[in-house]
Amino acid sequence: MELKNLQNLESEPEKNNYPEYIEKIFSFKIPAHQTPERLDSFLARSIGNATRTKVQYAIESGCVTLNNKIPKPSRKIQPGDEIYCKLMKPPPIELIPENIPLNIVYEDDVLLVVNKPAGMCTHPGFGNRYGTMVNAVLYHLGFRDTIAIEPEDEDEDYDEGEIFASDSVRPGVVHRLDKDTSGLLLVSKNPVAHAKLAEQFANRTILREYNSIVWGRFQEDSGTYEGDIGRSLRDRKLFDIVKRGGKHAITDFVVLEQFDCFSLVKVKLRTGRTHQIRVHFSRNRHPVLGDISYGGDSLIFGGGGDANGQKIAKKCLSIAKRQMLHAKTLGFTHPETGEKLFFESDLPDDIKQILDILRID
The one catalytic residue in 153, 155, 159, 178 is 178
Cα–Cα–Cα angle for 163, 166, 170, nearest 5°?
Answer: 95
Task: Tell me phi and psi for residue 298, to 5 degrees.
Answer: -135, 160
Distance CA 334, CA 233 (A): 40
| Spacing of C-alpha 232 from chain mean position | 14
Task: Check if the beta carbon of residue 215 is closer than 8 Å to that of residue 286.
Answer: yes
112, containing H or E segment: strand 111-116
Report the alpha-carbon distance of residue 160 to residue 163 in Å, rounded: 5
**Measured between alpha carbons, how far is 23 from 260 in angstroms, rounded to an integer?**
55
> Per-residue DSSP letters for 6-59?
GGGGS-HHHHHT----EEEEEEEE--TTPPPEEHHHHHHHHSTT--HHHHHHHH
Distance CA 57, CA 288 (A): 37
Active site residue 346: no
User: In whole angstroms, how large is the CA radius of gyration of the chain?
Assistant: 24
CB atoms within 10 A of CB 237: 7
SS3 86: strand
* 3-state class (DSSP) for residue 355: helix
DSSP 3-state percent helix, strand, coil across the chain (nearest 5): 25, 30, 45
| Residues identified as active-site | 178
